[in-house]
Amino acid sequence: MGPTIGIFGAGQLGRMLAIEAHRLGLAVEVFTGSPAAADPATDSARTPTGAVVAREFSGAFDDDAAVRRFLAAVDVVTFEFENVPSRVGELAAEMGVAVRPATTLLHAAQNRARERAFLEQHGFPVAANGVVEKEEDLARHLARLGTPAILKTADFGYDGKGQARIESAEPEAVAAAHAAIGGGRAIVEAVVPFAFEASVVVSRSIDGATSNHGLIENRHVNHILDVSIAPFAGDADIESRAVALANDIAVAADLVGVLAVELFVLETGELIVNELAPRVHNSGHLTIEACAASQFSQQIRAAAGLPLGDGSIRQPAAMANILGDAWPDGGEPNWAAALNHPGVSLHLYGKTEPRPGRKMGHLTAIGATPESALETVTAARAALGDPGSG
Ligand code: AMP
């Protein structure tokens, strides 16, 4: 009924985007970003997204010929992750393929130093920070920022990867932290004494209309998202300021698509932007069950040039990630025990190799209140470890 959508990136986010495109009757193709698996027996032979589309285009993002073949098959491209080179945008422009969101936004979000610069330039609140080109810069910034501080690689950091906490400004501690993230370009920032973490997933259409799902509360374990809860049960003023902030960022970024704004919320209610993700986000997975239009629907609608849907939270929901750690040695989690909990949905991403820390799927529970949804989803996830799995 509309344009053929191309998705760059073939993980679980692409998978859920593709499923949503199918629901809308839109044709959808995926570009994996990696060469085809030499061994078809490995799970990279069929990516999480490739498994739900008719054909997947394999190839590295810097393989112009492969990218061109993909672009020739689609009308508009969107992204499931931001680490796609700007060159892809140039090729798309050459071939008359619309790019939503624009690669300029991706470029800003794929490097922490550029992301901080964009946010600061527009006056959006970020943690006190400094850009580190070499170790001397680090010592200089620490004199101003104090300790503890957090050192983060500038490029390709996610889920706390490429991060080191610096407890003291002693030269040995500073050198050890820099070595721990592999040296190189980084940013160092003050530790934010947040009361909790939250996100706003905002969408914007080609005509500039915006929508969001309110403030979603996020809890992390080992720097990886563990659970998300909505609607926000705290101070309504915090939520309205957070939503206004996310909208302002979407407008400043000239977004067409979805943007997740990760926030630290201080005890005082002050908001600090931690990170931007110009795409659907793990914290927004609960919108599939909680909203008339999920974050995936919004990104596909925006990419296709269609009107956005109603993103408001219709029913309280909580999401719990399922990591590879949930797999017992040589066995399977007890899926039936989790599914026995009323109100629980299971989403598995089709990954066959359950490595520790790897996001394999998630559970969402709906409930009468956010707390009861959280209780249900936590109990359902705990039940994955019940004996009796087959
Ligand atoms: P990031 O990869 O930047 O999203 O960081 C992952 C997690 O590390 C965040 O969700 C926080 O829990 C924690 N973190 C990152 N930066 C800071 C900071 N400046 N102060 C306190 N905690 C942080």
How much is the pTM? 0.95
By three-state DSSP, how is residue 16 classified? helix
Q: How wide is the angle at C-alpha 21 spanned by C-alphas 245 and 287, nearest 5°?
A: 40
| Residue to mutate (ligand 1; options 111, 150, 216; most atoms within 8 A of CB) | 150
For 189-234, what is each residue's pLDDT tens digit?
Answer: 999 999 999 999 999 999 999 999 999 999 999 989 999 999 999 9
**Mean pLDDT for the stretch of residues 147-169:** 84
Q: What is the pLDDT of residues 44-65, one digit of tens each?
A: 568 999 999 988 999 999 999 9
User: What is the per-residue burial (b if ≥16 Cβ within 10 Å, else e) of 279-313?
Assistant: bbbbbbbbbbbbbebbbbbbbbbbbbbbebeebeb
Average pLDDT over all residues of the chain: 94
* pLDDT of 43 strictly over 60: no
Note the CATH architecture for domain 128-190. 2-Layer Sandwich (3.30)
* CATH 3.30.470.20 in the chain, residue ranges: 194-383
CATH 3.40.50.20 residue window(s) in the chain: 5-99
| Separation of CA 220 and ligand 1 centre (Å) | 9
Task: Find where tokens 């990696």 sit.
Answer: 34
Specify whether domain 194-383 bears CATH 3.40.720.10. Answer: no
> Among 174-178, 311-315, 341-345, 378-382, which stretch is predicted with the lowest mean pLDDT?
174-178
Q: Using the 8-state DSSP alphabet, how is residue 145 labeled?
A: H
* 360, 12 Cβ separation under 8 angstroms: no
* pLDDT tens by residue, 298-346: 999 999 999 999 999 999 999 999 999 999 998 999 999 999 999 999 9
**pLDDT of amino acid 40:** 55
CATH for the stretch 5-99: 3.40.50.20
Q: What is the pLDDT of residue 156?
A: 66
Pairing outcome for strands 28-33 and 5-8? parallel
- Count CA within 13 A, CB hemisphere, residue 271: 22
**162 in contact with ligand 1, CB cutoff 6 A:** no
- Compute φ and ψ for 255, nearest 5 degrees: -65, 135
Query: Which of 220, 222, 274 has most ligand 1 atoms within 8 Å of CB, for mutation?
Result: 274
The 8-class DSSP code of residue 155 comes to B
Nearest atom within ligand 1 for CA of residue 158: 2
Contact 213, 284 (CB under 8 A): yes
For residue 44, the CA-to-ligand 1 centroid distance in Å is 30
pLDDT greater than 80 at residue 161 = no
**Residue 321: per-residue pLDDT:** 98
Does ligand 1 have an atom closer than 6 angstroms to the CB of 160? yes
| Residue 63, pLDDT score | 96
Q: Is the CB of 328 under 6 A from ligand 1?
A: no
Query: What distance, in Å, lies between the first and last C-alpha atoms of the chain?
Result: 42
* Minimal-distance CA residue to ligand 1 atom 18: 191
